[in-house]
Amino acid sequence: MNTFDSTDPSTGAVIWSGPAADADDVDRVVVAARRAFPAWRDTPRPDREGLLHRFAAELEADLPRLANAISREVGKPPWEATAEVRTMIAKVAISIQAYGQRCAEFANGPAVTRFRPHGVVAVFGPFNYPGHLANGHIVPALLAGNCVVFKPSEQAPWVAEITLEAWARAAVPSGVLGLLQGARSTGEALVAHPDLDGLFLTGSSATGRAIHRASAGHPERILALEMGGNNPLFVHDVADVEAAALLVAQSAWLTAGQRCTCARRLIVVGGPASDALLARVAEVARGLRVGTPDDDPEPFMGPVISAAAAEAVLSAERELIVRGARALVPVEHLATGTGLLRPGLLDVTAVADRSDEEIFGPLLQVIRVADVDAAIVEANATAYGLAAGLVSDDAGLYERFTREVRAGIVNRNQQLTGASSAAPFGGVGLSGNHRPSAYFAVDYCSYPVASIEVAELKVPDALPPGLLP
């Protein structure tokens, strides 16, 4: 039996160990889900909602323990880990509301439309929001009547284990929700299983594309892929430089730069106004409190997920500097063997042929342009399309920006990491496959069945020519 470990990114210490599921384990869990599906599909919707409400109550009761696990396993400060659990709890009511609005049975004369679950779906969860983002697939999938096989990130197995314990205490029926722990080989075995009706992912673009390739030739299998982005944030024509700088900092460095909506590219029109903004953003970067979840007072941000992830950010910064970038604030590795990084601000204006890469960590790249037209061209200079933001006092500019910039989330005067659970969440290009999550997750958790229904069978008044002699 293969085992694997999960480590505390603040210290490198092992905090969880367990077996990795192999192909036989995958088959066992999928078969159990298939066996459980007919009864769960036929369970009245109010009873399915009852399960979700019990789950929310269990999360509320176990909030300190789950938040502590999130802090220790992925490095979030307590304030942020607690907020994540609160978001998980809120997801239940939001999903029920969304399902009622978007998937309710409706009729138009004799035409009736109902919504049916797909069957057995796999959910792949990420490490950056190990509770909330997986939960955003699982809750609406179960509500719709699907059975779920959950494969969490191998970097957050402890959080997944505690979450499944809450489902068990909420009395989820046997087989309806299964857990498969493991790394890449476990995920590959799950994707390859022939008896899946859907695959829902929140993760990297590379993983999403691998799932897409592995599912080629299977149009009967629905994919919902929520991936990353090389997200632009354009700041222009603002009176309150302090507010703009603080918004930039939160957009770039919340969750140690590990939110898929984090700003990766800060676009400014060159001149004194942008110089003042960048000077203040640099000051904020140098003064941010970075530390472990146990620090008092609490830090703004904790570590990236691992020492290896920290080195990847540092390596990307070194490569950009070699190619002509200028470090306004260099990334600093605070403790060897950990993921603790002080955030960096890098002017990459002089770097030719910049790589369209999502650097998943606290490194913000500054790009100076000549004018607004060039800024919009730069914002769209990516194969991704998750999030984009404009910080500006000019309402007319925002009208143009939201019309011309290609992204699934476009914010104005709001941190780029701000997204509403009461709206769709997802992107285009390499950021997604047009299956947005959050409020629209219910859409990919079921399919419409259209029926023409007539209560009384009788010969119609008018028949097509030639039907009768």
Residues that are catalytic: 226, 260
Residue with tokens 């632009």: 232
Q: Are 215 and 223 a contacting pair, CB within 8 Å?
A: yes
* Nearest by Cα to 97 from 43, 129, 58, 52: 52
In the DSSP assignment, the letter for residue 104 is -
What is the Cα–Cα distance from 152 to 126, expressed in whole angstroms?
7
Alpha carbon distance 223, 202 (integer Å): 11
The answer to whether the beta carbons of residues 410 and 402 sit under 8 Å apart is yes
CA distance 262 to 433: 20
Please count the other Cβ atoms lying within 10 Å of the Cβ belonging to residue 343: 25
Based on the number of CB atoms within 10 Å of its own CB, is 222 exposed (0-12), middle (13-18) or buried (19 or more)? buried
- In the chain, DSSP finds a helix count (H) and a strand count (E) of 14, 21
466 — alpha (psi -120 to 50), left (phi > 0) or beta? left
DSSP 345-405: EEE-TT-TT-------SSEEEEEEESSHHHHHHHHT-SS--SEEEEE-S-HHHHHHHHHHS
Question: Three-class SS of residue 413?
Answer: coil
Q: What is the CA radius of gyration of the chain?
A: 24
**Of 125, 185, 178, 187, nearest to 156 (Cα)?**
125
Whole-angstrom Cα distance, residue 402 to residue 436? 18
